Amino acid sequence: MRVARLYSFNDIRIEDIPVPPVGAGDVLIKTHACGICSGDVMPWYIEEKAPIVLGHEPTGEIVETGKGVTYFQQGDRVFTHHHAPCFTCRYCRRGDYVQCPTWKSSHLVPGGISEYILIPSINLENDTIVLSKNVSYEDGTFIEPTACVVKGLKRARIRNDDTVLIIGLGIMGILNLLIAREHGAGKVICADRVKFRLDKALEYGADYTIDVSERALDEGLKDITGGGMAELVIVGPSSAEAMMEGLKCVRPGGQALFFTPARPGETLAIDPNYLYFNDINIITSYSCGPDDTADAFELIEKGVVSAERLVTHRFPIARTSEAFALTAKAENSLKSLIVFDGSK
Ligand SMILES: [Zn+2]
Ligand SMILES: [Zn+2]
């Protein structure tokens, strides 16, 4: 079977490796589609894991079940999460699934951009979802990224009528926009420096956009809100600079949600006195757990998130490098998928 393995940021190779053997409790899927994650195009993040078979947003059809598998059957169309928690440790009992040691060590074999994927029993039992008829394989690839957004908004305790500022309008920014709306956000204001992405945000329901290639973010927001700024500021770009810009835009009593990590060792020079007297919180949110994938699946079933609207590019596995480079460029694209036979 063919897989896309990354050795370094500019060196992704298509390799032929044996299909992994199916053990007791595991299943094998024939992959139908897999998303390119915008997190995976941060060179420092992905190169730390290299060599690695790319992709953690796959869907496929079960073609073989191991001994003892009863709930899932051959022919089931599924999404499976790359990591699954144990549900019994202290982290899990508190709902902090992504901190669970089992979650951290579990993974699909060999990874998502592969013609076949082994779903180990822990991933199968604790975070695999059978897709309903109205959810296509392509729709299913949005479960993981949507779940990351669901988790972020839960942690930020978004409230009805909040004025929300979203910085960075790649696919994650757009998903934040769509789902913030579902949570009853008031005004949603979207900022980026790429015209294609600003236009997309308006098309998907943003009330206003700010082109930060033309004007300072905080000035633009001040004008739009009459000086009121935003109760929730979602910072997408993985830089301390963007985080500082975001903090300047938070209304007293509000919060900044850092949706993406900065590079290890990068620091923020914050003024705790300012945060204290303005009751401003900084919230972070890393990845997602099985409660979030379940909520995401519901949003996709309802049609709030759909591949038809959000996928701008589709590539066969042989062109994974191109798909990856396009996502890294962060210009005239939203979601890119690797599609196998019968992705719809
Ligand atoms: Zn992802
Ligand atoms: Zn656990």
How far does the centroid of ligand 2 lie from the alpha carbon of residue 18, in Å? 31
**Residues 260-314: pLDDT tens digits?**
999 999 999 999 999 999 999 999 999 999 999 999 999 999 999 999 999 999 9
Phi-psi region of 261 (alpha: psi -120 to 50; beta: other; left: phi over 0): beta
Neighbouring-strand partners of residue 311: 335
Q: What is the pLDDT, as a whole number, of residue 341?
A: 79
Rounded distance between C-alpha atoms, residue 241 and residue 245, angstroms = 6
Tell me the CA–centroid distance for residue 25 and ligand 2, in Å: 19
Position 195, amino acid: K
> pLDDT confidence of 151, banded at 50, 70, 90?
very high
How close is the Cα of 145 to the center of ligand 1, in Å? 5
Percent of the chain with pLDDT over 90: 95
Give me ligand 2 centre to Cα 178, in Å: 30
Mean per-residue pLDDT for 226-242?
A: 97
Rounded distance between C-alpha atoms, residue 69 and residue 28, angstroms: 11
* Ligand 2 mean position, distance from CA 89 (Å): 4
Q: Is pLDDT of 131 > 80?
A: yes
Which range among 30-44, 67-81, 193-207 shows the weakest confidence by mean pLDDT?
30-44
**Does position 112 have pLDDT exceeding 80, yes or no?**
yes
Higher pLDDT, 249 or 9: 249
Instruction: State the pLDDT confidence band at 9, using cuts at 50, 70 and 90.
Output: confident
pLDDT at 39: 86
332 CA to centre of ligand 1 in angstroms: 19
36-40, 81-85, 195-199, 216-220: the lowest-pLDDT one: 36-40
Average of per-residue pLDDT across 134-160:
97
For residue 281, give Cα distances in angstroms to 33, 145, 156, 218, 241.
38, 24, 9, 18, 18
Please give the average per-residue pLDDT across 237-242, as a whole number.
95
Q: Tell me: pLDDT of 342 over 80.
A: no
CA of 94 relative to ligand 2 center, distance in Å: 9
At residue 344, the pLDDT reads 61
| In the predicted structure, residue 343 carries a pLDDT above the cut 90 | no
Cα(202)–Cα(279) distance, integer angstroms: 31
**How many A from CA of 87 to the centre of ligand 2?**
5
Strand partners, 140: none
C-alpha of residue 82 to centroid of ligand 1, in Å: 10
**Mean pLDDT score of the chain:** 96
pTM greater than 0.95:
yes
